[in-house]
Structure 1
Amino acid sequence: MPRPSLPPLTTLLPFEAAVRHASMTAAARELHVTHGAVSRQVQNLEKALGTSLFERGTRSLRPTAQARRLAAAVREALDLIEAAAEEISGRGPGGPLALSCEPTLLMRWLIPRLPELAARHPELTVHLSAGGGPPDFARDTVDVALRRDDFPVPEGVSRVPLFAEWIGPVCRPELAERLATDGYEGVTLLHTGTRPAAWDDWRRLTGHTVPSSVTATTGSAPQQTFEHFYLALQAAVAGMGVAVGPYALVHDDLVGGRLAAPYGFVADGTGYGLLSPRPPERDARIAALLGWLRARTAALTPPPALAVRPAPVG
C-alpha cells in the first residue's frame, strides 16, 4: 500500500539516535557509522518533511519540539517491532537481570532484602552493580537502574517513581538523649563527600538552627568527613557523631534500635525511581522486580511521629 506521507525509513534510526543524544557524534558512535552518515540521513529526513528538525549551534544540537514528537513516535514504533520480533523468534528478554543501584541504597537496603526477592520470584536471577547518575543503557551492560532523581531522565528512558526521599539527623539513641538536654555542644557532625550539602539542605528545609559554635564555618566543633555516604551512616551507627540520613537508608537501624532520629524527617523534594530502556511491562523480569519493589518500598515513608517538623534549636 503506498504511503506518500511516510518519510524514508533509512533516515529514522539515525534521526532518533541524534534526538536522544542531542549529538550526531554520539548517535554515530551508537550506530557504528560516521558522523557524516548520520548528518546526511538527518538532512534527507528534513528535506522529505520540508522543515528543520534541529537548532544547530557552534557546539550544540538542540531538537525542535516537532523533532522530539517524531522521535517519540519512532521509538514507540521500534519498541512494537522489537516486541513482535522477539515473540515470533522466541528470543524475548530472558536470563539474569542486570540491576544497577545507588551504592548506599544497595548496601543498606536492597541487599538485605534479596533473599525475600528470591523467595518471591525464584525464576528471577538478579546481577547487581553499584552506580549513580544517568544510566547509559546503550553502552552499559545494565537492564534496569534504581536511581535518585537528582538528574534529568535521559531521552527515551522509562522511569517509574518508587518512593520519596525524607532526611533528618540520626545518631545512637544515647547520643540523641544528650542532644535533647545539652544540644550540639561538643557533638561531632558527620559529613560525606558524596552529599556535602546534606546538613545545609536539612537546615534550609526545617528552619532548624545549629548553634553557631558548632557550625562547619567556625571550625570550633568536631567535624568529620567521609568519602562515601554509607561510611558516614556507619560512623553514626558506631556512635561517632550525628549524620543527616535519608529515611530509606537508616530504616533498618531505626527499627533495630541502633539509631534514633531526634528531630524526625522532612521530605527534600527528591525521590527514587526505576529506570529502564523501555516500559517495564515489555520485559517480564523488570515487571516482576518492579512489583516487588513497589510492595517493599511502600513502608519507606516515615511514620507520623517521625515526620514532625523540628522546632528551631539554639
Structure 2
Amino acid sequence: MTHAMPPDTRLPPMSALRAFEATVRHGSVSRAARELHLTDGAVSRAVRELEGELGFTLFRRSSRSVVPTPTAQVLAEDVAGALDRLRTALDRARRTAGPGRPLVLSCEPTLLIRWLIPRLAQLQAAVGSERELRLVSAGGVVHFERDGIDLAIRRNDFALADDVLAEPFLHEHIGPVCRADVATTLGPQQGEPLQGVLLHTATRPDAWGSWAALVGMRLQPTRAIRFEHFYQSLQAAVAGAGVAIGPLALVADDLASGVLCAPCGFVADGSSYQLMAPRAGVQEGPGDAFHAVLAWLRAACQELPATSPPTVGKRPQSPKRSTKARAPGRI
C-alpha cells in the first residue's frame, strides 16, 4: 500500500516573503529594497532563499530586469493578502492589549537626540510611569501597522493618508548658530554677505539657501563642510567647526547654557512639527496616549524661548523677510 507523504508545513522566513512580494509588486529589486530599507543585494538574497525553500524559480532574470513567472504572480497576490491579514491581526492585538503594552513613538532623529531625549523623564510621566515607552529614530512617511508604530513625530513636509490624524505642536524658526568665538568670523554688518565656514547637511540641503531668502541675506562663505545628517552639523557647530542653520527648538538648550549663540536671531520658515497616529487608534477621554503626549508636547514647547534678535555678535538681521515657506526636507 502506498502512503501519501504528509504536506510540508514549514514556512519560509518572513523576510524572504516580504522581499519577494515587494519585488513582484514594484517590478524592481531596487525599488523593493528602498521600501524595505534594505540593500539590493539583501533583497536578491532573500528572494533566492525563497526559491531554494520552494524548489523552483520565481523570476526570469536578465542583466537589466527581473520578470516574475506566472506562478510567482499568483503567489505574490496570495502573499500580499496574507501579509495584510497579518498586519490587521497584529494591529487588533495591539489595540486590545490595553494600556499595559509598550507605547512605540517614532521621532525625527535630530529632534529625538537634541530635544526629546533630554526631556524623556517628563514624557514618561505624561505617558504614565507604569507603561513602557519605546523610542524609534526615523523620518519621512510613517508605516504605522507595518512597523508597529503607535505615535510619530514628523515635520509637515509630506502628504498624509486620510486615515492618519496629525496635530501640530511646534512652529519652526530657524537661524544661524555657532560658538561665540566663531560669530566674530561671520563678516561685516547689515547689507554685507554672511561669511565664515558654513555647515551643510544632506538631509536639509537647501537650509542655508532657504534662510538667506527668508531674511534677504547674501552668503559668501569662506569654506563649506558637508555632513550626512542634520544633527551632525549641529554637533559640529557645538564643536566650533563653523556655523550651522539651527531650528530654535533643537538648539534652545545650547543657547540657554551659552554653548551656542544666534548671531542673526531666528525667523519662521513656515513649517511645523506634528504628532501623528492612525485615526482608528485614537480615543477621546483620559488615558488616551495620543492626547496625553500631544498635551505634554504643547506644554513643553511653551517653555522654549521666544524668537529673538541676535544673542551675540552685534550683527543685526537684514529687515527684508519673505513669508515664503521653506522647501520640504526631513531632519
Scaled by the length of structure 2, the TM-score of the pair is 0.61
Q: Does 1:209 align with 2:227?
A: no
Contact 2:187 2:196 (C-alpha < 8 Å) held by counterparts: no
Aligned counterpart for 1:131 among listed residues 125, 138, 152? 138
Q: 1:95 to 1:185 in 2, by over 3 A?
A: closer
CA separation in 2, counterparts of 1:30 and 1:268?
41
- Amino acid across the alignment from 1:232: S
Q: Which of structure 1's runs of 4+ aligned residues deviate more than 6 A?
A: 182-186
- Amino acid across the alignment from 2:201: T
Pairing 1:70-149 to 2, within 5 Å after superposition? 91-120=97-126, 121-149=128-156
What's the offset of the Cα at 1:288?
Answer: 1.9
Scaled by the length of structure 1, the TM-score of the pair is 0.64
CA separation in 1, counterparts of 2:283 and 2:310?
35
What's the offset of the Cα at 1:237?
Answer: 0.5
What's the offset of the Cα at 1:259?
Answer: 0.6
SS at match of 1:138: helix
What's the offset of the Cα at 1:204?
Answer: 1.2
Q: What is the match of residue 324 of structure 2?
A: none
- Amino acid across the alignment from 1:144: L
Deviations 1:76-135 (A, max 9, x none): xxxxxx8xxx7xxx7545411000000000000000100222345323321001011111
Q: What is the match of residue 228 of structure 2?
A: 227
What's the offset of the Cα at 1:148?
Answer: 0.5
Q: What is the match of residue 44 of structure 2?
A: none
CA separation in 2, counterparts of 1:27 and 1:163?
38
Q: Does 1:284 align with 2:288?
A: yes
- Amino acid across the alignment from 1:31: D
Aligned pair count reads 227
Q: Does 1:157 align with 2:164?
A: yes
Q: Does 1:241 align with 2:242?
A: yes
Aligned counterpart for 1:31 among listed residues 76, 84, 93? 84
CA separation in 1, counterparts of 2:163 and 2:124?
30
Q: What is the match of residue 175 of structure 2?
A: 168
What's the offset of the Cα at 1:257?
Answer: 0.5
CA separation in 2, counterparts of 1:98 and 1:190?
33
CA separation in 2, counterparts of 1:172 and 1:156?
44
- Higher alpha-carbon deviation: 269-278 or 180-189: 180-189
Q: Does 1:193 align with 2:202?
A: yes
Contact 1:206 1:309 (C-alpha < 8 Å) held by counterparts: no
RMSD: 3.0
- Higher alpha-carbon deviation: 281-290 or 237-246: 281-290
What's the offset of the Cα at 1:299?
Answer: 3.3
What's the offset of the Cα at 1:136?
Answer: 1.1
Contact 2:174 2:211 (C-alpha < 8 Å) held by counterparts: yes
- Amino acid across the alignment from 1:295: A
- Amino acid across the alignment from 2:109: P
Identity fraction in percent: 46
Contact 1:163 1:300 (C-alpha < 8 Å) held by counterparts: no
What's the offset of the Cα at 1:186?
Answer: 6.6
Contact 1:208 1:312 (C-alpha < 8 Å) held by counterparts: no
What's the offset of the Cα at 1:306?
Answer: 5.4
Gaps spanning 5+ residues in structure 2: where? 1-76, 87-91, 321-331
Gaps spanning 5+ residues in structure 1: where? 1-24, 34-81, 215-220
- Amino acid across the alignment from 2:236: A
CA separation in 2, counterparts of 1:306 and 1:154?
40
SS at match of 2:303: coil
Q: What is the match of residue 67 of structure 1?
A: none
CA separation in 1, counterparts of 2:119 and 2:110?
14
CA separation in 2, counterparts of 1:152 and 1:248?
23
CA separation in 1, counterparts of 2:257 and 2:118?
14
SS at match of 1:179: coil
Q: 1:138 to 1:29 in 2, by over 3 A?
A: farther
CA separation in 2, counterparts of 1:201 and 1:27?
42
Q: 1:186 to 1:162 in 2, by over 3 A?
A: closer
SS at match of 1:311: coil
Q: What is the match of residue 255 of structure 2?
A: 254
